Structure 1
Amino acid sequence: MAKVNISLDAELVVEVMVLAGVGSPQDAVEAVVRDYIARGHRTEARVQLRDEPEREADTAQPPPQG
């Protein structure tokens, strides 16, 4: 996997390290990024599951005959 170097405010990184309970700045920031991505995937899955019954209900009804 490719690596990227970025600069962050030291106070921000220290706060992330404390909140994540991680001793390495690299590991702390990586944990936050991975959590953010996982949260996005969970949100997408919930939205998709919530929308599926509506889509199935729409397709289950036969078109009106006149």
Structure 2
Amino acid sequence: MAKIDIRLDAELVVEVMVLAGVGNPQDAVELVVRDYIARGHRTEARVAGQDEARREADARPQDPQG
């Protein structure tokens, strides 16, 4: 996997390290990025499931009213 170098504010990285419980700055930031990506995938899956349920409900024939 290709690697890149970025610069971040030291206070921001220290806070991430404390919250993640990790002693290595690179590992802490990587955990945050991986969690953000996983959260996005879970959200996409949840929204897709809701959309599918709505489509199925719309496709069912409606009972006559009145």
The TM-score with structure 1 as length reference comes to 0.86
Could you list the runs of 5+ residues in structure 1 that have no partner in the other structure?
A: none
Amino acid in the other structure paired with 1:14: V
In 1, the alpha carbon distance for the partners of 2:13 and 2:20 equals: 10
**Offset of residue 59 of structure 1:** 2.8
Could you list the runs of 5+ residues in structure 2 that have no partner in the other structure?
A: none
In angstroms, what is the RMSD of aligned CA positions?
1.3
Amino acid in the other structure paired with 2:17: M
Q: Give the SS at the match of 1:2.
A: coil
Q: Give the SS at the match of 2:6.
A: coil
In 1, the alpha carbon distance for the partners of 2:20 and 2:48 equals: 30
Counterpart in the other structure of 2:12:
12
**Offset of residue 60 of structure 1:** 3.3
Aligned residues: 62
Identity %: 77
Amino acid in the other structure paired with 1:58: D
In 2, the alpha carbon distance for the partners of 1:5 and 1:12 equals: 16
**Offset of residue 61 of structure 1:** 3.2
